[in-house]
A and B are shown apart, each in its own frame.
Chain A
């Protein structure tokens, strides 16, 4: 049974199902994640409150469900922002050798900060809001995408079909958009999945440190932050959101690994 489950494709399917369930759970959780019920505060898990209640008597299951959806949404937006910035920089650096040195140093400089430190610094500069979290993390993770896209572009530049188009007289823009981008897309997708996982984790850490999403928005990190005072007596207030983060990150990693092995023709050729 366990061995069956550990088979690659089944694991990937399970991961996809888990993420889908996390996204969908908020619609089926029934309870209102914000409804305060002081009488029922810090109740252990029961049939009424599946994951127990928190210090305001709010249903932890409903909060985990909504928090997971919000965290996944933020992770996805961060991935999109990081991909846009990273892909643009990576394509330019890989394709135009003259820009390469300058752009690569910019990417290196961004990479040399620990993600979370960079994100905290940017958040401090921008001020706390959902939009700023996405922007800060997107910037912090853009080099991870940028470097992979640059490497792929460098490898592709020599490909005969790129040379064919060059000899034909295709413009640089055309070469990049029609010939290079579609062929580095698999790389971008793979790296994007890993950035998604990291972004989710870092966003939770930011919220936990109080520099992330404003506390009124239910995210998994905010939930853990607010459970700090009670978790010795009411472990469920921290356990369930923590487990949700771990499962989400694990699922994304499993999917990312699988994607990398399935659709990475460029790197396969380079090696």
Chain B
């Protein structure tokens, strides 16, 4: 069986027009040469700090951004070349849950209409009574009170609104859900509830989920495999439990050491990276992480390290063999 989604060499550029009448437009790659696959029923985590391009990857997949290079094969069909009816059909199968539960719901639509919208657009439940029944079932499934359908989004809390967003995504009966930091805008106490709901729904509907997050703890809890992104490139890929326990790439180790722990002992040594993500307008030669990498050597500046197998089932992009799996 083929993978549900296979992304190969994805590249997305953004243009910054320079000021002045004769200023030329400068282009830079927010996502560069990103390849991965999502299996059927798999939950794939995508982590990275702000500005690493992880959201852009998600936006490319749902069609909100048009990539400049690479291929995205969904169920064997190239998303870039689909047109008209075929594209519309695929749009039903890939849904997105946004980060901000406040601005992602139309403030002037009642919740019932918001949840019913994908069905209307894709002609899923044609009769009105059928649609209402389905909306009620969906609201119940995500744990909202039955009278929610008649109310407006502003009457709900952040967690409840995110549940509405999830119900809306489910209404399309998707195969793949892009969850773009679905809990990072929520209170910690509510985060767990929403995550559990996602895990529950994923199991019940055999959904594939691309879970975009900056929180490795959350990702480990939910995901089968994890992709680690830095400045638009993938630096490490691996099964989540293994990757968190034995991070291969120096960047992943730094990211993990930043996760707060309950005890100072468990916290261990914190790797503090100096400097900031390099400007995408002038990326360093070779490995993009080398300017901040504590293990950088001369070879790092020479060529972009490819994502290569470093252990069974583990991929990492690093030019310094000594840095892999190091215990700092």
CA distance A169 to B109 in the complex (A): 18
Q: What's the minimum C-beta distance from B209 to chain A, rounded to whole angstroms?
A: 15
Q: Does B317 contact A (CB under 8 A)?
A: no
Query: In the complex, which of the residues A163, A166, A169, A178 contacts B88, with contact meaning CB atoms closer than 8 Å?
Result: A169
CA distance A159 to B153 in the complex (A): 15
Which among B95, B105, B108 has the highest number of chain A CB atoms within 10 Å?
B108
Q: What's the minimum C-beta distance from A230 to chain B, rounded to whole angstroms?
A: 54
Interface size, B (range): 20 to 34
Interface size, A (range): 10 to 19
Q: Does A167 contact B (CB under 8 A)?
A: yes
CA distance A159 to B104 in the complex (A): 7
Interface string of A153-176 (1 = CB under 8 A from B): 000000111011111111100100
CA distance A165 to B105 in the complex (A): 9
Query: In the complex, which of the residues B63, B91, B100, B172 contacts A160, with contact meaning CB atoms closer than 8 Å?
Result: B100
| Given A159-B103, A161-B106, A179-B106: A168 in contact with B63 (beta carbons within 8 A) | no
Q: Does B214 contact A (CB under 8 A)?
A: no
Establish whether residues B172 and A168, one from each chain, have CB atoms under 8 Å apart when the complex forms: yes
Stretch at the interface among B116-124, B199-207, B234-242, B276-284: B116-124
Which residues of the partner chain B approach A178 to less than 8 Å between Cβ atoms? 106, 109, 117
CA distance A161 to B101 in the complex (A): 10
Establish whether residues A160 and B64, one from each chain, have CB atoms under 8 Å apart when the complex forms: no
Looking across the interface, which residue of chain A has its beta carbon closest to that of B171?
Answer: A168
Interface string of B110-138 (1 = CB under 8 A from A): 00000001100110000000000000000
Q: Does B168 contact A (CB under 8 A)?
A: yes
Establish whether residues B88 and A161, one from each chain, have CB atoms under 8 Å apart when the complex forms: no
Query: In the complex, which of the residues B64, B95, B168 contacts A166, with contact meaning CB atoms closer than 8 Å?
Result: B64
| Given A160-B100, A163-B64: A170 in contact with B106 (beta carbons within 8 A) | no
Query: In the complex, which of the residues B95, B108, B118, B121 contacts A183, with contact meaning CB atoms closer than 8 Å?
Result: B108
Query: In the complex, which of the residues B92, B104, B105, B165 contacts A169, with contact meaning CB atoms closer than 8 Å?
Result: B92
Interface string of A198-232 (1 = CB under 8 A from B): 00000000000000000000000000000000000
Query: In the complex, which of the residues A160, A169, A170, A265 contacts B98, with contact meaning CB atoms closer than 8 Å?
Result: A160
Establish whether residues A170 and B103, one from each chain, have CB atoms under 8 Å apart when the complex forms: no
Q: Does A182 contact B (CB under 8 A)?
A: yes
Q: Does B286 contact A (CB under 8 A)?
A: no
Main secondary structure of the interface of A (DSSP, over half): helix
Which residues of the partner chain A approach B95 to less than 8 Å between Cβ atoms? 167-168
| Given A163-B64, A178-B109: A168 in contact with B121 (beta carbons within 8 A) | yes
Q: Does B62 contact A (CB under 8 A)?
A: yes
Looking across the interface, which residue of chain A has its beta carbon closest to that of B178?
Answer: A167
CA distance A164 to B96 in the complex (A): 7
Q: Does B51 contact A (CB under 8 A)?
A: no
Which among A167, A174, A178 has the highest number of chain B CB atoms within 10 Å?
A167
Query: In the complex, which of the residues A164, A170, A182 contacts B108, with contact meaning CB atoms closer than 8 Å?
Result: A182
CA distance A61 to B73 in the complex (A): 77
Which residues of the partner chain B approach A179 to less than 8 Å between Cβ atoms? 106, 109
Q: Does B260 contact A (CB under 8 A)?
A: no
Q: What's the minimum C-beta distance from B195 to chain A, rounded to whole angstroms?
A: 20
Looking across the interface, which residue of chain A has its beta carbon closest to that of B87?
Answer: A169
Q: Does B107 contact A (CB under 8 A)?
A: yes
Q: What's the minimum C-beta distance from B176 to chain A, rounded to whole angstroms?
A: 12
Establish whether residues A160 and B103, one from each chain, have CB atoms under 8 Å apart when the complex forms: yes
Establish whether residues B117 and A165, one from each chain, have CB atoms under 8 Å apart when the complex forms: yes
Q: What's the minimum C-beta distance from B191 to chain A, rounded to whole angstroms?
A: 19
Establish whether residues A169 and B91, one from each chain, have CB atoms under 8 Å apart when the complex forms: yes
Which residues of the partner chain B approach A183 to less than 8 Å between Cβ atoms? 106-108
Query: In the complex, which of the residues B62, B105, B117 contacts A170, with contact meaning CB atoms closer than 8 Å?
Result: B117
* 3 closest cross-chain pairs (CB), A and B: A169-B91, A160-B104, A182-B108
New A-B pairs, 13, CB < 8 Å, besides A160-B98, A170-B121, A179-B109: A161-B104, A163-B98, A163-B104, A164-B96, A167-B62, A167-B64, A167-B91, A167-B96, A168-B95, A169-B122, A170-B117, A178-B109, A179-B106
- Where the two chains meet, the residues of B that have a C-beta atom closer than 8 Å to any C-beta of A are 62-64, 87-88, 91-92, 94-96, 98, 100, 103-109, 117-118, 121-122, 165, 168, 172
